[in-house]
Amino acid sequence: MKRLSQQSPWAPFLFLAPAGAILSLFWFLPAIMAVFASFAQVNLGSSRHFFGQFKWIGLDNYVAMAHDPLFYKSLLNSWIYLIGVVPPLVVLPLILAILVNRPNRAMGPFRVAYYLPVVIPIVVVGLVWKWLYAENGLVNFVGQSLFPWLLRHPLPWLSLPETALGAVMVVTVWKGLGYYMMIYLAGLQAIPRDIYESADLDGASPLQQHRYLTLPYMVPSMGLVAIISCINALKAFAEIWVLTKGGPLDASTTTVYYLYQQAFENLNMGYASALGMVLFAMTLVFSFLNKGYGDRAAMA
């Protein structure tokens, strides 16, 4: 291998060729096809073409999107989802990270317990939370026990348009707490311990230490978590598919789920590709922000 790399300038490209072929087949080619499909009517049932038959229709898919009320509703749901999910995922994991950032072995089991939801498959999570949200489930039982004046009757949380999207948000926050907590833990452990010792000698309380020392150091990590959670919120699909399937009355249909419905239920691949371009444009903005904050967090 060493002799090959010294003699042939093409050796690095030969090593990269397998990964490049896989990326081209499963990422670059579908992405290019999606761009073309957004300007076309796609007939997947055509036996003459392996990828289906494309009929160029220009901007018709985008014009139809501009007059589609369900698209606007799904877009609004996506942004409501983002606004409801991102602030808890920025604040709560930081609090957990501060609580478990102790230099002793007793915190190890707590870190594992908080991270466990991240590795549990979303299908299992969905089935568990469906049971919790049932009318005879634990959520109604605890709610009626603690707040009988607020929750007088059991509610079908996933079947009401007013509560379905919020119920899915809770699952997303619960599942993501451990992942973002680990990001914060890495940032907390990079803070020099001597500044806390100096603050303690100066009489600063733990709350004051976190207010004036921890938070300024954690700003890059908090920005990184905010942007990553924004991207994940815009792409959220599995939780909605498992828990509500976009219902009831499209109350929990986000842009990603609406894309899935158009592509795989209605087989309207052209329109679904146009929806994908809109989603791509939104996530691209956060991706650029993610790169900038990622660089800052790495330098912090």
In which region does residue 205 sit, left (phi positive, over 0), alpha (psi from -120 to 50) or beta (all else)? beta
Distances from the Cα of 217 to the Cα of 98, 154, 254, 260, 300, angstroms: 13, 45, 35, 41, 8
pLDDT digits over 109-157, tens only?
Answer: 777 788 888 888 988 998 899 999 988 888 998 888 888 887 888 889 9
Name the residue type at position 268.
Answer: N
Residues 178 and 216 in one domain: yes
Q: Are residues 166 and 292 in the same domain?
A: yes
Q: What is the pLDDT of residues 178-201, one digit of tens each?
A: 999 999 988 888 888 888 888 888
Shared-domain flag, residues 167 and 209: yes
Contact predicate 272/42, CB 8 Å: no
* Domain co-membership, 50 together with 115: no
Per-residue pLDDT, 86: 94
**CATH of residue 255:** 1.10.3720.10
> Does one domain contain both 19 and 135?
no
Report yes or no: 199 and 176 within 8 Å, Cβ to Cβ: no
Same domain as 107, residue 45: no
Give the end-to-end CA distance of the chain in Å, rounded to a whole number.
38
Query: Domain tally for the chain?
Result: 2
Nearest C-alpha neighbor of 172 from the set 131, 117, 106 = 117
235 and 279 share one domain: yes
Q: For residue 157, what are the domain limits?
A: 62-299
Whether the Cβ atoms of residue 88 and residue 229 lie closer than 8 Å to each other: no
Token pair of 61 as six digits: 């898919």
Check if the beta carbon of residue 89 is closer than 8 Å to that of residue 181: no
Residue 104 has a pLDDT of: 67
Strands (DSSP E) contained in 72-204 are: none
Overall average pLDDT of the 44-50 stretch: 54
pLDDT digits (tens, 9 = 90+) for 91-104: 999 999 988 887 66
d(CA 22, CA 276): 22
If asked whether residues 33 and 97 sit together in one domain, one would say no
> In this predicted model, what pLDDT tens digit does every residue of 203-246 receive, in sequence order?
888 888 888 888 888 888 888 898 889 989 988 899 999 999 99
Residue whose C-alpha is closest to residue 55's, from 67, 39, 68:
39
69 shares its domain with 17: no
Say whether both 169 and 46 belong to one domain. Answer: no
Nearest-angstrom CA–CA distance, 7 and 37: 44
Look at residue 209 in the predicted model and tell me its pLDDT: 83
Predicted local distance difference test score (pLDDT) of residue 166: 94
Tell me: do 33 and 75 sit in the same domain: no
Supply the pTM of this predicted model.
0.84
Q: Are residues 252 and 137 in the same domain?
A: yes
* CA separation for the pair 137, 131 (Å, rounded): 6
Question: What ranges in 101-163 are assigned the alpha helix state H?
Answer: 107-119, 122-133, 138-146
